[in-house]
Amino acid sequence: MLLVVDVGNTQTHFGTFDGERLVEHWRFASVRTSTADELGAALRSLLELRGVGLADLDASIVSSTVPELAPEWAQVGERYLGHETVVVGPGVKTGMPIRLDNPRELGADRLVNAVAAHAQVGGPCVVVDFGTAITYDAVSAAGEYLGGIIAPGVEISLEALTSRGAKLPKIDIAEPRQLIGKSTVDAIRSGIIYGFASAVDGIVSRLRGELGAETPTIATGGLARAIVPHTTQIDETDDLLTLTGLRLIHERNV
């Protein structure tokens, strides 16, 4: 069984694959000060909820946007799983040329998403990841990573708004009751949901202007479900895109 781990700035999403079948997946908060022992204990506890033991994991692969946690997860493999964990980064085979001025700048999660999306559609594509930041990644028909766009994420923007606006309350991200808010809370929700949906549509439309009008666009990330229903340019949402990409990259490094 293969363990795949996507370490994001806010959440860590991990799962187990039996061949190409995703057996189960979980999310927990990413804590930058976590040690390998703490991560190993959390991993064991969550796996045991589904009757899976650490000994059932034959291999593992990790992508991390948190530099402090990548080596800790590598130690989890050595200390608790009995094998060397593949950490996505320089030297790992992805099968995707990176057409950036400095390929080392590319976040591992963005590359993993691009690999999964291209494998899924078999041609040019765009990935929109709703995480701590909203990232847009463009892939060519030949399977090359062309580059992307990074914008502030939904939660970052909402925190900035309520911290700078003394009279603006903190709110949860939920469906607006209507476009024109009848209360401050409704007005903020409408601005966040429809504002980000419009921004996403605008950027994807511009990307399709360069890549082709029919370029498939896939959304992923924790807040995709809140924003995507209000967009017109997203073709599908895949919450498991990053985990699938990790599986594909692991297969290319066996």
**Of 37, 58, 109, 239, which one is the catalytic site residue?**
109
Tell me if 124 sits within 8 A of 215, measured CB to CB.
Answer: yes
CA nearest neighbour of 112 among 249, 253, 206, 225: 249
Distance CA 155, CA 133 (A): 9
Quickly list H helices, the chain.
36-48, 70-76, 108-121, 154-164, 184-211, 224-227, 241-251
Count of C-beta atoms within a 10 Å radius of residue 157: 16
Distance CA 166, CA 230 (A): 29
Distance CA 254, CA 239 (A): 25
Distance CA 236, CA 222 (A): 14
Question: Is 109 an active-site residue?
Answer: yes
The tokens describing 42, both together, are 């959390």
DSSP 85: P
**Which residue numbers are catalytic?**
109
